[in-house]
Amino acid sequence: MATLAKHYEDHLAQYYSWLFGDFNNIVEVNRQFFIVHKLIPENSKIAIDLGAGSGFASIALAEIGYSVIAIDLCQKMLDELKCHSGSLDITPIKDDLLNFTTHCPESAGLCVCMGDTLTHLDSFENVKSLFADVYRSLQTGGKFVLTFRDLVFELKGTERFIPVKSDSDTIFTCILEYEKEHVIVNDMIYTNNQGLWKLDVSSYRKLRIPLEWVRRELPESGFKIDLCENNKGMITIIAGK
């Protein structure tokens, strides 16, 4: 089984933005989310994007006035972020998100960990450590935004075979295998080269994080939860310091 970094760098990165559809539309959805929830810059204009990927959140944050520290393990994803971000105030950094504090010289006004990044951490202890580090890194009144998939409910049988996206040249299918605390994600990518189809498969683990566990652990780290929603299996939390 591949490490998370190798899975993204060698397998998923080149398809990641394609999977989500129109890049600018995703950025705009995020931009409106930040505006609607009043997550605009105030005392501190520093925002930290943990698991920044190709820039869906980082670009939106920079467009509303933040100076963004964008951290991701995958260089290919950060290179794509650079291509999309132009002259926006975004600093891409290749590192494990658990090391983010070494790249933040002063308190931030906002920290986001979106997409499904949180489930990429390999243990609940690492999640708790991240919560504590984010709390310490935020200024008083700063906000922490989390989005992650609810992987607690176990799909059975053929439900585990998920047709993610396809076009005339690419078919992307995901097969899930459940363990007690993790889900093994098997990404199967068929690509067509002049009528010859090639299959590439890579697997990695995601952590099955119960919503109630997060609702308990965030206050343990000092946060006050302002918003908690579960929309068709995608959990969104906004917490304040």
For residues 114 and 230, state if they share a domain.
yes
For residues 125 and 190, state if they share a domain.
no
Q: pLDDT by residue (tens digit) across 63-88? A: 999 999 999 999 999 999 999 999 99
For residues 14 and 121, state if they share a domain.
yes
* CATH label of the domain that carries residue 10: 3.40.50.150
Q: Which residues pair with 191 in a beta bridge?
A: 170, 198
Domain span holding position 198: 157-207
- Give the separation between CA 119 and CA 147, rounded to whole angstroms: 10
| Percent share of the chain, pLDDT over 70 | 100
Contact between 191 and 173 (Cβ < 8 Å): no
- Give the separation between CA 70 and CA 6, rounded to whole angstroms: 19
> How many structural domains does the chain have?
2
Q: How far is CA 64 from CA 19, 150, 162, in A?
A: 25, 29, 35
- Give the separation between CA 131 and CA 37, rounded to whole angstroms: 21
At 17 the pLDDT is 87
- How confident is the chain (241 residues) per 10-residue block, as mean pLDDT? 79 86 95 97 94 96 98 95 96 96 92 96 97 97 97 96 94 97 96 92 95 98 97 96 96
For residues 106 and 194, state if they share a domain.
no
- Give the separation between CA 32 and CA 68, rounded to whole angstroms: 17
Q: What 3-state class would DSSP assign to 142?
A: strand
Q: pLDDT by residue (tens digit) across 185-226? A: 999 999 999 889 999 999 999 999 999 999 999 999 999 999
> Looking at residue 159, what DSSP letter applies?
G
Average pLDDT along the chain = 95
Residue 108, Cα to own-chain centre: how many angstroms? 19
Residue 30, Cα to own-chain centre: how many angstroms? 12
At 4 the pLDDT is 80
